[in-house]
Amino acid sequence: MIYIVLGMHKSGTTLISQILHHSGISMVDDVDETTSYDKGNQWERESTKAMNHQLLGSNGLFSLLAKPPAVRTADPVIRHQMSELISRYNSSGQDWGFKDPRSSLVYDEWSTVLPEHRIIAVYRRPEEVWNHYWNSSTRLRRRLTVFRHFVACWCEYNLQVIQSIQKAKAPWIVLSYSRLMHSDNEFRRLEAFVGRLCVTSADPR
C-alpha cells in the first residue's frame, strides 16, 4: 500500500512520516536519525519533494510562498517522471509513501498517476503552527512579513486538503496533531487505518 501524508507546514506531517517509517512503511530513501528536525531531518523523500517543486515551480522559494498550480493537468513529461518514480518504489514490494506539505497543493496531480493508495491528513490549530514561524526570526519586521503570508497559506493548505479528501476515491483519515500528542485514541485510529502496530516517535514535529 502507498500512503500519502497531507497537511500544512509545521502541522505534524513529519511526526506522521516518522511514525510510519519506524512502523515498517518506507517513507524516505535515506535518513540520518542522528540529525534533528531543526538541522534538516524532516522525514521527506527527496525524489517526490523534487517532483512537487517541479509541479509548483517552487524550487528555492520560501515554503509559504508556494501556490497551487494554475493548470491542474501536469505536463506529460512530468507525469511520466511521476509514474516512473511510483513504479520504482512499487517494485520493492513493500508498503511505502511520501510526505511533503506541498503535496497538499498538488494531490490532484498525484492522484491521476497513483495506483491504489491511502491518504493520511493531519491538521493543527493556526496559533500552534504560527509559534514556529514567530520564533524563527528575531526581527519584528521579518515576523510581520511572514505573518502576512502565513495566514493566507494556512487557509490555502487546509482548504486544498479538505477539497482533496472530499473528491478522493482513495480511503483517507484526518488526524489532529494535538490529539495525537495527548490522546491514545488518536494513535489507535492511525494504527487501525494502516492495519499495523505503530511505533511512537520522540520528536513531536
- Give the pLDDT band of residue 204 (cuts 50, 70, 90): very low
Q: Rounded to whole angstroms, how far apart are CA atoms 108 and 70?
A: 12
What integer pLDDT is reported at residue 37 of this predicted model?
A: 46
Evaluate if residue 66 carries a pLDDT over 60. Answer: yes
Residue 30: strand, helix, or coil: coil
92 Cβ neighbours under 8 A, 6+ residues apart: 26
Evaluate if residue 173 carries a pLDDT over 90. Answer: yes
Confidence (pTM): 0.89
Looking from the CA of 71 toward its CB, the CA atoms found within 13 Å total 7
**Section 162-183 average pLDDT:** 93
Q: Rounded to whole angstroms, how far apart are CA atoms 49 and 44?
A: 7
- Give the pLDDT band of residue 136 (cuts 50, 70, 90): low
Closest CA to 51 of 5, 17, 14, 85: 85
Evaluate if residue 202 carries a pLDDT over 60. Answer: no
Per-residue CA distances from 7 to 81, 110, 123 (Å): 24, 15, 6
Instruction: Please check whether residue 21 is in contact with residue 27, taking contact to mean a CB–CB distance below 8 angstroms.
Output: yes
Evaluate if residue 149 carries a pLDDT over 60. Answer: yes
* H/E stretch holding 176: strand 172-176
What integer pLDDT is reported at residue 61 of this predicted model?
A: 87
Lowest mean pLDDT among 69-83, 132-146, 168-182: 132-146
Instruction: Please check whether residue 25 is in contact with residue 97, taking contact to mean a CB–CB distance below 8 angstroms.
Output: yes
Please check whether the domain covering 2-194 is classified as CATH 3.40.50.300. yes
* Sequence spans of domains, the chain: 2-194
What integer pLDDT is reported at residue 205 of this predicted model?
A: 43
Q: How many CB atoms lie within 10 A of CB 40?
A: 9
